[in-house]
Amino acid sequence: MLEFLICSLLTIFPDYLVRRYVQGKRVGREINLYSMWFELRYGITACLILTISLITMIFYFHPSTSNVTAVFRTVTIMPESTGRVAEVYVDLNEKVSAGAPLFRLDDSEQRAALETARRRVAEIEAEAIVAQSELASADGLIAQAEGDYLQALNELETQVELNQRNPNIVARREIERLQVAVDGRDGARAASISNKRTLETKIASLLPAQKASAEAALTQAQVELDKTIVRAGTAGVVQQFALRAGDIVNPMIRSAGILVPEQRRIGLIAGFGQIEAQVMKAGMIAEATCIGKPFTIIPMVVTEVQDVIAAGQIRPTDQLVDAQQLASPGTLTAYLEPLYEGQFSGVPPGSSCIANAYTSNHDALHAPGISTPHWLFLHVVDAVGLVHAMILRLQALLLPVQTLVFKGH
């Protein structure tokens, strides 16, 4: 209607002035309800063409949408594993700080695993003490084996020397027996030395590795025990939290509630028509008015335009997708943020809004070598944005009336 009124001032009104004051035709006589079309046909036709062209230009270069929501971030409260609730620390709508405990799951299994890991660490430490004692005992065994070996070797050398002086004094079999005894005691000595080296390797490498593995298992058990206490990841307010002791929570099926963070606001998400995909660009200036904050125009800026349309997405399933299921046209998603800090305060998170985005040709108008028709067209495009801004302000005035009176909310 506003576009028609503006266009009529440039078409129908001049046509009427010519026919009234130039041609001398009078209202109620030559210009009446029945002859209006014939008398003002040029102005009416030009007004309709100009109105349609103006509306098309305005809504294409300065897109508008009512599919706008003041989105906010939420955090799902859920444990990392399935379990039965043993204790609840907070109530519904309670404000919590980051890291505050929310509820605790039954931890009997985790505590048993933690105690087992502790006992394993203690067992390895005891093995290290025993190994140190065995190492000290190994030194004594080596000394004993060395002594036995030297004694047997001396006896063998003595008998061999006697045999060399007089072969009839010492029997050949006795010398062979002594040689076997020397070889046996030498083997015992080597075994004692090898046993000591084994104990040293066990103390230096095996037991520390086993202790490190046991301590890692202990740490893992402690982590699993800590996971039974679900904490707030960020400061916020607990919503939809009706958990009680004895309930079963499952991260795949049933969450415990919702945490609405204090720093929860993201901005506005707007869905513009697909035909405006070539016009919507990041950096465009926009304006919005929200139901939660009536009679207020909020300057915004388009920070991001999603390069895909959500209605066309598909994901792997066990059924083929029929194109008819994707026939419903989706919208072009754009993200809007306040142009100035603090101007978005007072808008309730989740509020529905109306937004306009405005095309700016400032750089193109100052580009060298631009032709006059192109320069004039860009000027017209920028100028008609004023009409859309006026429409948004009228909507901001009428929005509370429509909501409270006509819809009865």
Q: What is the CATH number of the domain that holds 408?
A: 2.40.30.170
Over residues 263-284, the mean pLDDT reads: 84
Report if residue 318 sits inside a domain: no
Question: Considering only 72-81, 114-123, 128-137, 169-178, which range has the smallest mean pLDDT?
Answer: 169-178
- Residue 357: band (very low, low, confident or very high) from pLDDT cuts 50, 70, 90: very high
Q: Which residue matches tokens 């808008």?
A: 347
Domain, as residue range, for 381? 62-71+266-312+326-409
Residues 123 and 198 in one domain: yes
Cα-based torsion angle of the residue sequence 189, 194, 199, 200 in order, rounded to the nearest 10 degrees: 110
Residues 99 and 112 in one domain: no
Residues 66 and 38 in one domain: no
Report if residue 317 sits inside a domain: no
CA angle 139, 145, 151 (to 5 degrees): 140
Closest to 284 in 3D by CA, of 366, 390, 357: 357
Question: Considering only 136-140, 162-166, 191-195, 363-367, which range has the smallest mean pLDDT?
Answer: 162-166
Give CA separation, 321 vs 223, 271, 311, 316, 324, in Å. Answer: 44, 24, 13, 10, 8
* Interval 373-407: pLDDT, tens: 888 888 888 888 888 888 888 888 888 887 777 66
Report if residue 334 sits inside a domain: yes
Give me the CATH number covering residue 255. Answer: 2.40.50.100
pLDDT above 80: residue 260: yes
Report if residue 321 sits inside a domain: no
Residues 212 and 184 in one domain: yes
* Interval 177-191: pLDDT, tens: 766 776 776 677 777
Report if residue 320 sits inside a domain: no
Share of the chain above pLDDT 70, in %: 87
Residues 307 and 408 in one domain: yes
Share of the chain above pLDDT 90, in %: 6
Residues 240 and 217 in one domain: no
Residues 85 and 145 in one domain: no
pLDDT above 80: residue 408: no
Sign of CA dihedral 159, 164, 169, 172: positive
* Interval 144-162: pLDDT, tens: 767 666 776 676 666 666 6
Report if residue 382 sits inside a domain: yes
Report if residue 204 sits inside a domain: yes
* Interval 32-43: pLDDT, tens: 777 777 777 788
Q: What total number of domains does the chain contain?
A: 4
pLDDT above 60: residue 220: yes
pLDDT above 80: residue 82: yes
Q: Are strands 332-338 and 95-96 parallel, antiparallel or unpaired?
A: unpaired
User: What local confidence, expressed as pLDDT, does residue 386 receive?
Assistant: 85
* Interval 301-335: pLDDT, tens: 999 998 888 877 777 777 777 777 776 778 888 99
Residues 166 and 249 in one domain: no
Report if residue 319 sits inside a domain: no
Q: What is the DSSP string of 289-357?
A: EETTEEEEEEEEEEEEE-SS-GGG-----SSPPPGGGG-S---EEEEEEESSTTTTTTPPTT-EEEEEE
Position 385, amino acid:
G
Residues 214 and 307 in one domain: no
Question: Considering only 70-74, 186-190, 213-217, which range has the smallest mean pLDDT?
Answer: 186-190
Residues 218 and 112 in one domain: yes
Residues 220 and 247 in one domain: no
Asked if 305 contacts 332 with a C-beta cutoff of 8 angstroms, the reply is yes
Give me the CATH number covering residue 117. Answer: 1.10.287
pLDDT above 60: residue 409: no
User: What local confidence, expressed as pLDDT, does residue 382 receive?
Assistant: 85
Closest to 68 in 3D by CA, of 402, 336, 343: 336
User: What local confidence, expressed as pLDDT, does residue 19 receive?
Assistant: 75
Residues 191 and 48 in one domain: no
